[in-house]
Structure formats: C-alpha cells, structure tokens
Amino acid sequence: MTIVQVLIVAAAALFWGLFMRERGRLYFLLITSIIVIFWLQPALPLRGFDFWLPTATLAVIVFNWYITALEESHREKKNWVTLSILTGAVLLLNLTRFLPFDPILTPSRPPQTEILLIALAGLGFLFFFVTRLKRFNASLLSISIIGLIIFFLALKVPALAYWVSYGIRSLTHQSLTEVKGMDLRWLGFSYIAFRIIHTLRDRQMGRLPAVDLAEYVTYVIFFPAFVAGPIDRVERFIKDLRQPAAALGNDELLVAGQRLMVGLFKKFVVADALAMIALNDTNALQVRTAGWMWILLYAYAFQIYFDFSGYTDIALGTSRLLGIQLPENFSAPYQKPNLTQFWNNWHITLTQWFRAYFFNPVTRWLRSWEKPLPAPVMIALTQVATMLLIGFWHGVTWNFALWGLWHGVGLFIHNRWNDMTRVRASEWATTPFRKTALNVSGIFLTFNFVALGWIFFALSATSVSWQVFLKLFGLG
Amino acid sequence: MKTLNIILKGLSLFIILNILFALLQPGIGRISAYNLIFPGRERLPFGENSAKAYNLSLFDLDAMFASHEINGSQKAADEFRVILIGDSSVWGTLLKPEETLAGQLNSAKLTACGKNMRVYNVGYPTISLTKDVLLLSRGMKYQPDLVIWMTTLEAFPLDKQVASPLVANNKDSLLRLAASFGLKVDPNDPAFVGENVWDRTLIGRQRTLADVFRLQIYGVMWAATGIDQVYSTDYQKAQTDFDADPSFHKFGSSVLDEKSLAMNALETGVKLVGNIPIVIVNEPMLISNGKNSDIRYNFFYPRWAYDQYRALMTGQSLNHRWTYVDLWDAVPANQFTNSAIHLTSLGETQLAKKITPIITAVCK
C-alpha cells in the first residue's frame, strides 16, 4: 500500500468514526471493504484478472459462509440483502468502465458487463447446485479446505503459478511470450485463505459461532487488515462488531491516532529508509567485506520488522477508529531472550493459527499412538513441520523451506537446551547482574540467529544465500 | 478537549518550525555522514536509478560537495591538488571511479612540481559552461594547485546554460557569481526554478531534505560496495550514421556566432581561479566515418560548426593568454561508449597519457 492509500483508508475510518459512529457500522465496513479489495488489487498483465480476482474473493467467501453457516440462517432475509449488496457492488464497480475517465476504484478498466453478468449467473447456478448437496455438507468443508490449499499452492509454487498463468493466457488468447509466475498476484489471498480455513475447521469442530453473511464477509476482508493482517479470530471479531459502537471519544481518537502515526512512521520513514540498504538479491553479491554484509543483514532484519509491524500499527489504529480492536501481531520480538519467545511475539496471529490448526492437532495425534514416539523426536517433528509450513505460507520455494527449517531446528535445539540447562541456569543466575547478563546474551544470540535466518527469506536463490553466509564469516 | 489541545499544539509547533526554517535557512546539506562514517565519494552524486546505482541526483551543492572525498581530505604539504571539471565524460558515465580520467591519473601516482599529484573528479553530467563555473566556484574552496577544465562546443550555446537542472536549481549561487565575477545570468530566465517563501519552509524543502537524507543512507551502500552508478555493458553504442542534417542548435546560417556562445562563462571561470593555473581542454570526441560523416562529425556536431569552434577557441585562448589544449581527435572512434563524448576505460587511459605532460608542463 502506498502512503496515499493508507491515508485514504484511515480518513474513511476517521470520517465514519467521527460522524456516523452509531449508524450502520456493519454495512459501512462491508461496502468499504468490498471497494477496498478492488481498489488495492494491483494491475495484472492478464486481461481483466485484476477485476476477476477480487470478484472471486467474494464468491469464495460467500460459498464458504454458506457451507459453514447453520442451515436455518441460509434463508434469513438479512443474508439475501447482503448477497444483493455484494452483487450490486460488483456490478456497480463494473459499470465504472463506462465512465469517461480512467478507472479510480479498479486498477484497470473492468471487463465487459455482459461477461460479468454471465459469470454471476454461472456462480448463481453453481451456488444453487451446491445448496442441493445437503447431505454432502460435511464433506464440503473438507473439500473447501483442500480447494483453498490447492489455490494457495497454485499461487505460491512458482512453477505452478507459471503454468496457471500460461493456461489462462492460452485460454484467453493472450501473449505467451511474457508468461510470469507473478501474473497472478491475488492481493490478500494468504490472509483470506487462512481466515476462511479457520472458520471451516472451527465449523468441523463445532466451535464456530453463528455468523451472518455480512459479518462473515466483513471478517474475512475487513479493510484495515486485508493486506497485512493480523489474522483475527471470527468469534473475537464479531464480538467487537456486535457491540454498539460508542461515540468516538477523545481518548479513543488519541490512542487510535497515535497508533496510526507510529505505524506510518515505522513503515514509511524507518522501513522505507532501511529498505535502501537492506540485503537483497542485487546487493548480496556486491558487498566487499564481512562487516558491511552484517550491516546489510541487520538492516534487513530491522526493515522487515518495521515494515510489517508498521502495517500492523496502521491496521490497529484504523480499526480502532471503527470500534474494532484487532489483536496485536508484534510485541518487541527482537528483545526476547530465546527463539521460542521470539515466535510468541513475532507475527503472533499467524503463529497462533498454526499452533491451533496444525501444531496442537498433530501433537495430539502423535501422542495418541499406541506406541508414541520419544518426546524429543515428537517435538522435533512437530516444530520442524510447523515452521516449514510457516515458511511455505510465504512462498513455496527452497529458500522459504530453508528458512522454515532453520527456525524449526532452532526451536528444537532451544527446547532441548532449555530442558538441560534450566535448573543450572536458575542456580547460577542468583544476582541481578547475572540475570541481566543471561538475558542480554540470550537476546544477542536470538537476534543474531533470527537475522541469519532472514538471509534465506531475503534472497531468492539458495546458492546466493550460501555465499552470503560465507561472506559474513569471512570465508567468501 | 485534550485531543484538540494536542492537535493545536502540534500544529503550532509545526508552523513555528517551518517559519524558523524559512528564516534561518540552515545549511542541512553541510551535515554529512560522508568522510566521517563513510568514505567520501570519488565523484559528485548523480544517479537516475538510485536503487541500483546507490546514488542519486540532487541539487544541494553543500550536500554534494560534503559527500565528495575532496571535502574530507586535508591538503597535505606535499600534495599537488588538481581539480578536474567538466561534463559526464569527466564524471565518467559507465565507468567505475578508478576508470575515469581522475582515477587513471591518480593510479599513475604522478608527481608535479615536486609534490604528489592528487586529482579530484569534480565533473558532473549535463553539458553547460555555467554549470562548470558553478561547480568550480565551490571547488576553489579546496585549494587546488591546478584546474583542468574539460569542455566541448555543446557546453557553449547560450540556450544550454541554464538547461542543466543543477544550474536551474541554484539561481542564488549564480547571482552571487554574477555580482562577484561578472557572470552573465538572466535572473528572469524561465528555466530557473523559482523560490518563494513557501519553498524555503520545511514543507517546501521536503524534497531537498529527503534527497539529502537518502544520499546519507546510500553512503552505506557506497562504502559496502564501491558502486556509484549502474556500470552497464548493455548500452546502445554512440551513433555513427546520420541524416544529412547540418544544423547546430539555433545557428542556422553556417556561422558560429560568438554572441550566441557563453564565452563569458569561460572568462568567468578563468577569473574565478585567480592566480591558480587553469588548463582548458577541448575534450576528445567521436569522429565518425559512417553515413553522412562528411556533414557531421557525430551526433552533436556538424563539421562546419565544430571546425569554426576550434578556430574560435584557438583565437580566444591566444587573445586571453589561456592555456588551451585541443585534444578533439586524441581518442579513436572505437573507444567511445554510448555517446560521442563518453570514453571507454581504455580511451580514458589514452587521454590520461595525453594530459599528463600538460600537467607537468604547468610547473615549468
């Protein structure tokens, strides 16, 4: 997001917070969020896809609401109203193609209206067909999870993304000479998929609260958190959403404004300045000495933190203007004395998601074996697998796999080390000085371990990452 | 009320800061991390692709010189300090710092007048004598023992003088040169970037301040990599085939009218250096033997204009007793890169060999 886009989004939230706070919050959030997903979607070289992808986002959300919602709520009038709003909004956005000036709300001129009408009719037919499959409802939840994961892989595996783009270009008779994996940049899909999978799994477990369509759509594409999270939980989100919004008081405005300003400063001043010197594919092979390589690596470590936590602050500040308190996503992660604590404080909502829907169930499953694996093996397996998946969430490449592996192994080593030394460490650290020394050395080691892991994250090629490692230790 | 108070206080403070900044005009550019944390740059900052070149173009002369190595080196008693001024051929487009004329002269470890010669590259892309004078006026603060001014006819036409963005954005400095040394400057030239009170505030200067800040940050990359431009090898070679076009700027009648040339800028430059020796060099250019090369030497010059310019410069230097060297054909055509004045590294070596005896001759 550019600073102008951030300010427009914040201004919209402030406008509502100041003047309309007690009226129609749900529909304000719903309609604004719909507009924002079209508006922020980057222009794509695949003709019309920068309109089709946000439309598909809405279709996927409606479908998943349908299969997760209680049957009696399907026919509730308010849900039909919401469906009409969604369809109407997409149609109106499409009709902006007839305006005599360049599109403002969509990245390029929307596709022909008759094609959209045919697509909507097709979706309607598909929807009708699915509603007839009542007895398969339970399977639909699993099918949808698998479908979302397949979509996810199609976007995140470079080779798959390439072939999907190739296929689309072939079908739509577009040039095949410039096919790229990046042709299909579906803005926010990683977050959308994870929010939806959370609702699907909770529905399977019987934990999902009753949520109407408007609430569900707003939860998944809530505009302050659409691009960079946090990944809220639906039950927490709707609790805020259903509470009557009090007038925006001075204190609330101050707290929200402060958070927003801090976020803007972190992202657009600190992170963007650090980005100029942060480690990347170009400069990785240009740096002449180990000392400067460390500086570029540290610059990257702080850049990614300020960038990401800055966006989070912006999201939290903006949502607070709207009376929604999104969960924190960062809590001084670089000041933590060990890797476990680091991961409890870095991208907190993503880590919690994986803990809830992967780590804990897999651990429970492994423990349920008749002859359970030895504890260290179980810990190694679950931690490495979880971190590998977190790596793949960012992109299915060797470097993200190595980054996940680095942290998975790191967490396992810390776990074992902690078990072995906890008693001795507490016996030794009897004075404030010793406690501080232990804490500071822990912070130093953890930060440098995390920083070294960023090498895989910042660079796209394994060979270059290896060369950077060598250079850092004076071997290259 | 609390929020309103905070907003009002913040706003008042911001307005006061802006007014103070506009009134005091602090020389922010003089504060530099170069020559302090990072090594000084070997040439003035210039760059059109900052992310890859780790460099950028800015117009704050204080910041530009503060980032240059010349600003960080105390002149030693045994140093013979040479300042090289000129256009992109001196600055060294497509060349690494050590490959430029200054770099090659330095690597030869020459002595002049019994001292160790140290050459500083104060060249800057864009071709304008007035731009050269502007930079020379700043360069004189660094006590040169010799100034070498590389120039070419393209720097002379009056319409080129303020066309350089560096000149257009430094009207005040030029007016000071006009007052002190008689440089002819039209203060009402529309090419000048105007400055009102608003432009002098923090908000008005935000771009300048951001550029100065970015220049400091790129110091890390300069120190880490030694890169200060994109050293592309994939460039379009300088044009050698031409249309049958004998035109040169607005000189329509095959006569290079002296009144339409900025001879005054050249005179001002010489006046500015005072007793310090200055050598004016007609820099090498590509002499094409391609299509219509009987009409044009290269992209810049029809033969008639350039021939007249050379004769004019010879005459002027005799009249004014300038030390003038004509090296127009010193480098063969295959040693030019993407322009008729940009040399390859080997071309610069050849040029350096021609310049060396000129420098040593100054001492005699």
Chain-chain contact of B52 with A277 (C-beta, under 8 angstroms): no
Is the peptide bond between A230 and the residue preceding it cis, with omega within 30 degrees of 0? yes
Question: Which pLDDT value is given to residue A136?
Answer: 61
On whether residue B14 sits in a domain, the answer given is no
Question: Which pLDDT value is given to residue A177?
Answer: 82
Q: How many residues does chain A have?
A: 476
Question: Which amino acid is located at B137 in the chain?
Answer: S
Long-range contacts of B7-11 (CB under 8 A, 24+ apart): none
Average pLDDT taken over every residue of chain B: 93
Mean pLDDT of A150-155: 90
Instruction: Please state which of the ranges A80-84, B234-238, B248-252 shows the lowest mean pLDDT.
Output: B248-252
CA neighbor of B84 nearest in space, from B283, B326, B310: B283
Contact A225, A191 (CB under 8 A): yes
Instruction: Please state which of the ranges A181-190, A219-228, A406-415, B177-186 shows the lowest mean pLDDT.
Output: A181-190
Instruction: Please state which of the ranges A251-260, B121-130, B260-269, B344-353 shows the lowest mean pLDDT.
Output: A251-260
Range of B100's domain? 39-362
Chain-chain contact of B224 with A289 (C-beta, under 8 angstroms): yes
Which ipTM score applies to this complex? Answer: 0.88
- Please determine, for residue A17, whether its predicted confidence score (pLDDT) is greater than 90: no
Alpha-helical (H) ranges within chain B are 2-24, 50-53, 61-66, 88-91, 101-107, 129-139, 158-161, 165-168, 171-181, 206-225, 263-273, 303-320, 345-362
Q: pLDDT class for B209, splitting at 50, 70, 90?
A: very high
- Please determine, for residue A239, whether its predicted confidence score (pLDDT) is greater than 80: yes
Chain-chain contact of A251 with B2 (C-beta, under 8 angstroms): yes
Q: pLDDT class for B255, splitting at 50, 70, 90?
A: confident
- Which tops the pLDDT comparison, B77 or A72? B77
**Total domain count for chain B?**
1
| A106-143 pLDDT tens trace | 999 999 999 999 999 999 888 888 777 766 667 888 99
Q: Which residues of B touch A288 (CB under 8 A)?
A: 224-226
| A363-392 pLDDT tens trace | 999 999 988 889 999 999 999 999 999 999
Q: Smallest CA–CA separation between B282 and chain A, in Å?
A: 36
Long-range contacts of A4-12 (CB under 8 A, 24+ apart): A5/A39, A5/A40, A6/A264, A6/A267, A6/A314, A9/A36, A9/A223, A9/A224, A9/A318, A10/A260, A10/A314, A10/A317, A10/A318, A10/A321
On whether residue B287 sits in a domain, the answer given is yes
User: Under 8 Å CB-to-CB from A416, ≥6 apart: which residues?
Assistant: A376, A379
Instruction: Please state which of the ranges A80-84, A430-434, B193-197, B232-236 shows the lowest mean pLDDT.
Output: B193-197
On whether residue B8 sits in a domain, the answer given is no
On whether residue B12 sits in a domain, the answer given is no
On whether residue B165 sits in a domain, the answer given is yes
Question: Which pLDDT value is given to residue A169?
Answer: 87
| B299-312 pLDDT tens trace | 999 999 999 999 99
On whether residue B25 sits in a domain, the answer given is no
Q: Give the closest of A251, A276, A288 to B225, CB-based.
A: A288
For residues A392 and A456, what is the distance between their CA atoms, to the nearest angstrom?
Answer: 12
- Return the exposure string of A366-386: e unless at least 16 CB atoms fall within 10 Å of the residue's CB, then b: beeeeeeeeeeebbbbbbbbb
Residues of A with CB under 8 A from a CB of B: 250-251, 253-254, 257, 273, 276-277, 282-283, 286-289, 292-293, 295-296, 299
Disruptive mutation site among B37, B215, B217, B222 for chain A (greatest number of A CBs within 10 Å): B217
Contact B279, B173 (CB under 8 A): no
The CATH number of the domain holding residue B348 is 3.40.50.1110
| pTM of the shown model | 0.91
For residues B340 and A52, what is the distance between their CA atoms, to the nearest angstrom?
Answer: 51
Q: Which residues of A touch B209 (CB under 8 A)?
A: none
Q: Smallest CA–CA separation between A441 and chain B, in Å?
A: 27
SS3 A457: helix
Q: Which residues of A touch B52 (CB under 8 A)?
A: 282
Residues of B with CB under 8 A from a CB of A: 1-4, 6, 50-52, 213-214, 217-218, 220-221, 223-227
Average pLDDT taken over every residue of chain A: 92
Question: Which pLDDT value is given to residue A110?
Answer: 93
On whether residue B3 sits in a domain, the answer given is no
| B42-78 pLDDT tens trace | 999 999 899 999 999 999 999 999 999 999 988 999 9
On whether residue B17 sits in a domain, the answer given is no
Q: Which residues of A touch B3 (CB under 8 A)?
A: 250-251, 253-254, 257
Mean pLDDT of B77-95: 96
| A95-104 pLDDT tens trace | 999 998 888 8
For residues A63 and A271, what is the distance between their CA atoms, to the nearest angstrom?
Answer: 38
Radius of gyration of chain A (CA): 24
Q: pLDDT class for A89, splitting at 50, 70, 90?
A: very high
Instruction: Please state which of the ranges B121-130, B133-142, B196-205, B218-227 shows the lowest mean pLDDT.
Output: B196-205
A-B C-beta contacts closer than 8 Å:
49
For residues A32 and B6, what is the distance between their CA atoms, to the nearest angstrom?
Answer: 30
Disruptive mutation site among A3, A248, A250, A258 for chain B (greatest number of B CBs within 10 Å): A250
Contact B228, B52 (CB under 8 A): no
Record the tokens describing residue A356, joined without a space: 């809830």
**B52 to chain A: closest CA residue:** A282
Mean pLDDT of A34-55: 92
- Please determine, for residue B325, whether its predicted confidence score (pLDDT) is greater than 90: yes
Alpha-helical (H) ranges within A75-204 are 77-95, 113-131, 137-156, 158-171, 189-204
Instruction: Please state which of the ranges A131-135, A261-265, B208-212, B246-250 shows the lowest mean pLDDT.
Output: A131-135
- Please determine, for residue B242, whether its predicted confidence score (pLDDT) is greater than 90: yes
